[in-house]
Amino acid sequence: MFDTYGYIGRSFSVNLKNNSLSAVISGGVFDPRVNESRLLIKAATYHGLSVKKAGSGWEATVIFDI
Amino acid sequence: MAVEGLRRIDSTKIEIPRGYKPGMRTNGIIYVDRTLEKDLDIRSVEQVANVATLPGIVGPSMAMPDIHAGYGFAIGGVAAFDLKQGIISPGGVGYDINCGVRLVRSGLRKDKAIPKMRDIVEALYNRIPAGVGSKGTLRLNAQDQKRVLLKGAGWAVEQGFGSQEDLEHTESGGCMVGADPEIISRKAYDRGRAQQGTLGSGNHFTEVQFVEEIFDEKAASSLGLFKGDITVMIHTGSRGFGHQVCTDFLDVMQKAAHKYNIQLPDRELACAPFNSPEARDYIAAMKAAANYAWANRQCITHWVIESFLKVFNTDPKALGMGLVYDVAHNIAKVEEHDINGRKTKVIVHRKGSTRAFPPGHPEVPDAYKHIGQPVIIPGDMGRASYVLLGTEKGMKEALGSTCHGAGRVMSRHQAIKRARGRSIRREMEDMGVTVRYTGRSTLAEEMPEAYKNVTDVVDIVHNAGLSKKVARLKPLGVIKG
């Protein structure tokens, strides 16, 4: 979304129900006069990727290329 | 602390013996002296060993002295695979396909340029879009996007951004034949549409330098490099487009590895047999991304020259600016090498390493045929960069390959922590380097001490005979994303 449209989210509402996830994201287009340029995730990698059971839930580790 | 289980061969290289890790089909070789060996990260050694387990590897799994841990393949890695029994892996090319570097010479003397360095840097910053998600001034329609992928730097030259001579002084003529625009995902097109002609962020830069030291007068003169002259170095790649191509094909290759029953010690090494349909598709897409990157560096070169013309209010002839050479340092190519005394075609993966062909090689441009292929090695933004030449020994011993840069010693996170409370911009000014940047954290991540000293790295490849030193370049001004 950012690479293509310059879109940056400001508020996020995420709903996780059964096995589906829906989210509403609101924000706007990046403006270098107002927004500070910081970290950009360029890719999600398989490096050190893990998903394991942790208590009553699951814990995932994902390393991003930045 | 040195990694255990390695064997020193001579003062410039160590061996990872075949028994270091189960499944290794060959040994590993890391070009490193005793000093840099102390900084070797065991993760990067493991990665060189992991590559040695892949099917059809020809010769050792190698790494250059700027080695550091990457995803799957170590950065600084070189590995060749047989075309019948071997594989191709997107992880052996990297996310930023055809990330590379080019050097522009000028006839401008440093004492004329230094008083105007602020103006030069400002002009470069205003003309070359830089920074996270930066968007260019070029607006490409669908047809133009495809032409970029098919023609590479040649497309940029057709648009008036450069000359035929620029193409002759670019690795592969700035275009890999066989790119297929139809294989590219919609997402990759979307990410690449507005980023053609942009520098990006991270370790990418445009840097104004001067020739500080010449090691080989004759060769330097053939390259048009003279002590005290101004040069400009451009380091960037295929931007979000290349990243998306890599991401798309890592997925394809995960399935392919399973389909062809290839055991992977690391999922980032996902690969397919070289003669499989999955490999053919990846190669066609990788070439498209490589061509995107060459067009990108060609457009930026044009704006560099425009910036200098504006600041010095003169004509191109008076400035004497021209491309010395452009190298790719994240790429896979089919090349002919001497394997066990026989000329054999192999697929050479270079990830964070540079092709360095010797004098007389057919792929070296006519102008440089007598000296060998120029190799451009960027260092950190405070100390130095180098120009090297390919050698016959490097061709025989390391598939005509050498290092690609200084190599990080600190992670980005460590560097940001180390920079807390300091003004890196002011420190750079004190070192005589004018800096213009968009992201403050980028500057901290890229501070000189985050990298190995490039001189130590270059001395190893020079002493090992993989390539030879021609000139050292000293930074004066830099723009970063």
Contacts of A49 in chain B (CB under 8 A): 267
What's the average model confidence in pLDDT over A37-56?
87
| DSSP annotation string for A4-35 | HH-EEEEEEEEEEETTEEEEEEEEEE--TTTS
What is the DSSP code (8-state) at residue B315?
-
SS3 B206: strand
The span from the CA of B352 to the CA of B164, in Å, is 28
Mean pLDDT (10-residue bins), chain B, 481 residues: 88 97 97 95 96 98 96 96 98 97 97 97 94 77 96 98 97 98 96 92 94 98 98 97 96 97 95 98 98 98 97 92 98 96 96 98 97 98 97 98 93 90 93 90 90 96 98 97 81
User: Which among B132, B247, B268 has CB closest to A40?
Assistant: B132
Question: Is residue B404 flagged as an active site residue?
Answer: yes
Q: In degrees rounded to 5, what are phi and psi of residue A27?
A: 180, -145
Q: Which residue has the tokens 């490097």?
A: B394
Domain ranges for chain A, please list them.
2-65
Any bridge partners for residue B10, and if so which?
Answer: B13
Q: What is the pLDDT of residue B150?
A: 98
- Residue among A4, A41, A49 with most chain B CBs within 10 A, to mutate: A4
Q: Test A2 with B439 for CB contact under 8 angstroms.
A: no
User: Which among A6, A32, A46 has CB closest to B250?
Assistant: A46
Q: Is A4 on the interface with B (CB under 8 A)?
A: yes
CB distance B153 to B167 below 8 Å:
yes
ipTM: 0.80
Choosing from B169, B235, B302, B404, the catalytic residue is B404
Q: What is the pLDDT of residue B1?
A: 58
Q: In which element (H, E) is residue B406 found?
A: none
Q: What is the pLDDT of residue B133?
A: 64
Distances (CA, A) of B31 to B167, B459, B462: 32, 11, 11
Contacts of B201 in chain A (CB under 8 A): 37, 40
B474: Cβ contacts below 8 Å, ≥ 6 apart: B209, B210, B212, B384
Q: What is the pLDDT of residue B476?
A: 98
Q: Test B132 with A38 for CB contact under 8 angstroms.
A: yes
| DSSP annotation string for B88-112 | E-GGGT-SSTT-EEEEEEEEEEHHH
Q: What is the pLDDT of residue A40?
A: 80
CB distance B170 to B155 below 8 Å:
no
The span from the CA of B277 to the CA of B185, in Å, is 17
Cα atoms found within 13 Å of the Cα of residue B365, Cβ hemisphere only: 23
Q: Test A42 with B95 for CB contact under 8 angstroms.
A: yes
Tokens representing B412?
């980005």
Closest B-chain CA to A44: B247
| DSSP annotation string for B337-362 | EEETTEEEEEEEEEES-EE-PPTT-T
Q: What is the pLDDT of residue B390?
A: 98
Determine how many CB atoms are found less than 10 A away from the CB of residue B264.
Answer: 20
Distances (CA, A) of B336 to A55, B177, B353: 55, 17, 18
CB distance B61 to B52 below 8 Å:
yes
SS3 B235: strand
For A59: left if phi > 0, alpha if psi spans -120 to 50, otherwise beta; the answer is beta
Residues listed for chain A = 66
Q: In which element (H, E) is residue B80 found?
A: strand B75-82
Determine how many CB atoms are found less than 10 A away from the CB of residue A23.
Answer: 10
The CA distance from B130 to the nearest CA of chain A, in Å, is 11
